[in-house]
Amino acid sequence: MELSFYFGSHSSYSFMGIFFCLLLFTFFRNSRVVLADSEYLIGLGSYDITGPAADVNMMGYANTDQIASGVHFRLKARSFIVAEPVGNRVAFVNLDACMASQLVTIKVLERLRARYGDLYSEQNVAISGIHTHAGPGGYLQYVVYIVTSLGFVRQSFDVIVDGIEKSIIQAHQNLRPGSLYVNTGEVDAGINRSPSAYLNNPASERSQYQYNVDKQMTLLKFTDNEWGPIGSFNWFATHGTSMSRTNSLISGDNKGAAARFMEDWAKQKSFGTQSHSSHVAASGTHNNQQGFPRRVSSIIPPVHENSNKLKELVSSFKASGGMQLSGPQSIVQRVRNTFSQGSQQNFVSAFCQTNCGDVSPNVLGTFCIDTGLPCDFNHSTCNGKNELCYGRGPGYPDEIESTRIIGDRQFTKAVDLFNTASEQIKGKVEFHHAYIDFSQLEVTVSSSEGKQVVKTCPAAMGFAFAAGTTDGPGAFDFKQGDNQGNPFWKVVGSLVKAPSKEQVDCQKPKPILLDTGEMKLPYDWAPSILPIQILRVGQVVILCVPGEFTTMAGRRLRDAVKEVLTGDGNGEFDNNVHIVIAGLTNTYSQYVTTFEEYQIQRYEGASTLYGPHTLNAYIQEFRKLASALLTDQNLHDQGPQPPDLLDKQISLLPPVIVDSTPSGLHFGDMSNDVPINSTFKRGDVVSATFWSACPRNDLLTNGTFALVEFLDSSQNWVPAYDDDDFCLLFKWSRPSKLSAQSHATLEWRIPQDSLPGVYRFRHFGASKSFLGSISYFTGSSTAFAVV
């Protein structure tokens, strides 16, 4: 109105008004051209989801002794959104967590609905876990998955929900015109941990494949029209079990490590954010001539090369003593930028999980810890004992080194695929979703007698479930490959809930240890209603499944969907369609094997909850989703809704009562300092221990508990490494289980490419008073030299 009035009231400006309108028309016309050329709007986001680093049982191994007590490196939620300029959009979230949770998904969708209306829903949002076994548990809603964490852990749950929401908000705010590319290649980072079950698949089927695991990585490259490459997401099958069942440090395991390496590599290459003012690499394992990460800060010149001067400098910096802070100031001390710089978004790289059910990263094979001999092939036992058989990673016996190697293999291939990606993604953005009751689903299967209708079963776990795997064996006298069961344990299981004859017959040949699908006290022990989902971006189709498919089960599902998509003759899809499985997505329901693998009843078969026809049920229902994708038809029957059990959750984890230090000492004071005038070489391990407080008092989200600081040429201490670095460990401990006192040990393995100079440790924490107030503190160690 103001423009119309202005131009209409002043005839001398009429020509300028017309000219201005022409400029506006040209601008919007060009904007439409940009969108048409790029075809998509793309946005990426990332946020810290590191849970409580103390007292909480870790999710994955179901080992009651595996209690979190520190941080290896931080966990993230990483998201991408791809949208048509006017039309559909999809959002995919990759969690550095063991798996997705139905309750987490429900609450994230509620928040998105409150913020964006119907823009994001269960239809077009997928939340997937990488399957690390080194993250805090207690965030799922079904009883069987939170028993070892002493029930529901609200702190674990909240930080994941918050982080997912914020990562999606970032991705939404970052939506800009861009292009996507897809590339594939082979990675050698896993072996089949249940080869005897795999061999029960038909020989004619096995002969179609070179390996008994899927070695293909599929990578999406995201490129902003103005800024260039801004991120990548890839899918590759290997378990997050490089870190063992005795590890107590929070870690993203091999996939989280690969993501950290690639995001730091991108910083070095100046992808994404341009103004990164700190050290920019994580692994410290590649030389700079290869173009891989080198730990050289963009603000720190190569100083302190004179060793005598180094010693003089070191001697002048003593431990600071503990100091009170006004708040969680470690956030501003982070080495890496958490948020976008200016208008430009950070590079985001996610290493997603797929059909990893029978794939182990412990690639050296399985051996008996008492004799060193290979384990029994069929049962993975050693002289009949299951608990003595362990897989060995490539860095054996160093699990952190094994994590680095398997992560590095994925990272190296991802960089190669990223650099050579040339196949541009073009086509529609679409999605379909349905809830299915897997406890009683009728499934049509083919047999030698023709087609017949069978049914899935209520959830149940077999005896071999308790045997565990070679990545983390169980206890007592359970063993894999057991389709008979043990009379004693059958009695024990029956005391909890005796399965009906119908259930026993339905689950055969699985001997039922726990009839979880029919156990309802104090609330549901296992899920029955599961989400299935297809996301499509051009020629890339993502099958979102709520479990761990074995290698052959995943192949059958992909082939079935491909047959539907390419078989109708309309030409929308051809043999170049890229179909990937996103495992452990939206909720969790354990494993899915083939019918033939189920008969062997190794761990994966015993953990296939809904009986021998579970895979056929998935294939049947995904074929329906794929058909809907071709016809653009909405599935009017979305199925029964899964329950929201938040109000029924029980938590038995005791709260933090109070933190204290010995008389005369303060939080942040040194308990065991670095020796005075110390000098270390690259490759050495240096550590210092502080008087600390329980990390549960404040998770320091987007902050850090640990820093290695570097003395720059202006005599300022600048952050060099933090607790999101692979080389710096934050270890927390109490002198005794019920003690109010605690220690924080910072342990740094000095990378081979660290700068020579003067360094020190700095610790951040939060303490709780007897009245419940939270106070923040910090402290720094005596300085030391690296030469």
pLDDT digits (tens, 9 = 90+) for 252-291: 999 999 999 999 999 988 876 543 333 333 333 333 333 3
Helix (H) or strand (E) holding 516: none
Task: Report the sign of the C-alpha dihedral through residues 287, 290, 292, 294, in that order.
Answer: positive
User: Does the pLDDT at position 661 exceed 70?
Assistant: yes
CA–CA dist 369, 391 (Å, integer): 10
User: Does the pLDDT at position 14 exceed 70?
Assistant: no
- Answer whether 584's CB lies under 8 Å from 188's CB: no
Other beta carbons less than 10 A from residue 619's beta carbon: 18
In degrees rounded to 5, what are phi and psi of residue 355? -85, 80
User: Does the pLDDT at position 35 exceed 80?
Assistant: no
User: Does the pLDDT at position 412 exceed 90?
Assistant: yes
Per-residue pLDDT, 638: 74
Helix (H) or strand (E) holding 112: helix 102-116
Q: Which residues of 653-688 are buried (b: 16+ CB within 10 A; e: fewer)?
A: beebeebbbeeeeebbbbbebbeeebebeeeeebeb
Residue, of 518 and 8, whose pLDDT is higher = 518
Q: Please report, in angstroms and rounded to a whole number, the separation of the first and last CA atoms in the chain.
A: 70
Among the residue ranges 515-529, 557-571, 649-663, the one predicted with the least confidence is: 557-571
Residue, of 190 and 341, whose pLDDT is higher = 190
Q: Mean pLDDT across the stretch 731-739?
A: 94
User: Does the pLDDT at position 450 exceed 90?
Assistant: no
Per-residue pLDDT, 566: 94
User: Does the pLDDT at position 79 exceed 50?
Assistant: yes
Using CB atoms within 10 Å of the CB of residue 384, give its burial: 0 to 12 exposed, 13 to 18 middle, 19+ buried: exposed
Residue, of 310 and 42, whose pLDDT is higher = 42
Per-residue pLDDT, 179: 98
Helix or strand or coil: residue 526? coil
501-509 contact pairs (CB < 8 A, 24+): 503/457, 503/458, 503/460, 506/455, 506/456, 506/457, 506/458, 506/611, 507/457, 507/460, 507/462, 507/611, 507/612, 508/612, 509/483, 509/598, 509/599, 509/601, 509/612
User: Does the pLDDT at position 33 exceed 80?
Assistant: no
CA angle 380, 385, 390 (to 5 degrees): 50
User: Does the pLDDT at position 11 exceed 70?
Assistant: no
Per-residue pLDDT, 293: 37
User: Does the pLDDT at position 456 exceed 50?
Assistant: yes
Per-residue pLDDT, 596: 98
Per-residue pLDDT, 569: 66
Q: How confident is the model at residue 568 (pLDDT cuts 50, 70, 90)?
A: confident
User: Does the pLDDT at position 250 exceed 80?
Assistant: yes
Beta strands in 488-598 (DSSP E): 512-514, 529-537, 540-544, 548-549, 578-582, 591-592
User: Does the pLDDT at position 770 exceed 60?
Assistant: yes
Helix (H) or strand (E) holding 340: none
Per-residue pLDDT, 375: 97
Closest C-alpha to 512, from 597, 605, 618, 591: 605
pLDDT digit string, tens, across residues 475-505? 777 999 988 887 777 777 777 889 999 999 9
Q: Mean pLDDT across the stretch 220-246?
A: 97
CA–CA dist 603, 597 (Å, integer): 10
Among the residue ranges 132-146, 222-236, 269-283, 527-541, the one predicted with the least confidence is: 269-283
Closest C-alpha to 741, from 691, 786, 686, 699: 691
User: Does the pLDDT at position 18 exceed 50?
Assistant: no
Q: Mean pLDDT across the stretch 236-261?
A: 98
Using CB atoms within 10 Å of the CB of residue 117, give its burial: 0 to 12 exposed, 13 to 18 middle, 19+ buried: exposed
**Residue 107: both structure tokens together:** 């609450």
pLDDT digit string, tens, across residues 106-129? 999 999 999 999 999 999 999 999
CA–CA dist 49, 158 (Å, integer): 9
pLDDT digit string, tens, across residues 147-199? 999 999 999 999 999 999 999 999 999 999 999 999 999 999 999 999 999 99
User: Does the pLDDT at position 295 exceed 50?
Assistant: no
Catalytic: which of 69, 128, 156, 360? 360
Determine whether 775 is an active site residue.
Answer: no
Q: Mean pLDDT across the stretch 506-530?
A: 96
Q: Mean pLDDT across the stretch 631-660?
A: 90
- Answer whether 404's CB lies under 8 Å from 726's CB: yes
User: Does the pLDDT at position 539 exceed 80?
Assistant: yes
Which residues, listed in sequence order, are joined to residue 94 by a DSSP beta bridge? 78, 128
Look up tokens 């990483």; give the residue: 78
Q: How confident is the model at residue 313 (pLDDT cuts 50, 70, 90)?
A: confident
CA–CA dist 683, 705 (Å, integer): 23
- Answer whether 91's CB lies under 8 Å from 171's CB: yes
Other beta carbons less than 10 A from residue 736's beta carbon: 8
Residues in CB range of 102: below 8 A, 6 or more apart: 140, 141, 142, 527, 531, 586, 587, 588, 642
Q: Mean pLDDT across the stretch 294-318?
A: 63
- Answer whether 767's CB lies under 8 Å from 777's CB: yes
User: Does the pLDDT at position 508 exceed 50?
Assistant: yes
Q: Mean pLDDT across the stretch 517-538?
A: 97
User: Does the pLDDT at position 421 exceed 70?
Assistant: yes
Three-state DSSP string of 122-158: CCCEEEEECCECCEECCCCCCHHHCCCCCECCHHHHH
